[in-house]
Structure 1
């Protein structure tokens, strides 16, 4: 099979890249005493409700994990960004009792001098629910940046790393 059909070099498919990233996030959270299950089903909907499987979750936390990169020409992957917007809508429809985490595998673009998550925040801030915590995760060194909603700015802004652990308490 030709890997050029997929966004990520070195993996069999985009789905495989996503599953690998989900496992990395699962392990990262588990090491920090956050125990989750795969494919956590939560009833979401506007009036009628239907089960939706979030990538990870438990009775108080739901997590979506996205592993996308900029296009080879250095542009934002518009179809993938739409997928991120769909994830934001699912978070919006989820019950308020859940802490909501959106993990993105860090992908930096030198042309724009920003990560794909920073680009998403800048251009789609109006679609991101205020109760969702956004995390840009650097798989190379297990480092991360946290973005939380700032009422004054009316968008998600970078926070100290401890913000994540305080949020999950």
Structure 2
């Protein structure tokens, strides 16, 4: 069942909507940050996910590859590098390079011979990754339910 914005309520309760969205964004960022320690590193990991895998949301992916339990064939992902991460996050290239190198040293990312950036093998299959996804989904559901209760979102 799709969710829609009730334009009248969104306008009449724009302050409440803004507060709820800010709280949800902050909670999400704190969840991403917990494992890596700082927001810039969290944003880099989010950018790597978005850059490499966004196209998968627009195509049929085999059911066995829809779970994080299975490693995804790297050749089916979009290439990601320091420049694309810097552009996606708004961080300058030097900060991005330094943070990517630190994330690689910590075992989150790997640098490829051609200058690419990928998640370290097995990272996405780690139980902590699935737990983070579940925490984020719970937060998204809670936020959507609050906006529905406020009348700002509605079920169609």
**What TM-score do you get using the length of structure 1 for normalisation?**
0.23
Choose between structure 1 and 2: higher helix proportion. Answer: 2
Asked which structure has the greater CA Rg, the reply is 2
**What TM-score do you get using the length of structure 2 for normalisation?**
0.24
Choose between structure 1 and 2: higher strand proportion. Answer: 1
Higher relative contact order (CA 8 A, sep 6+): 2
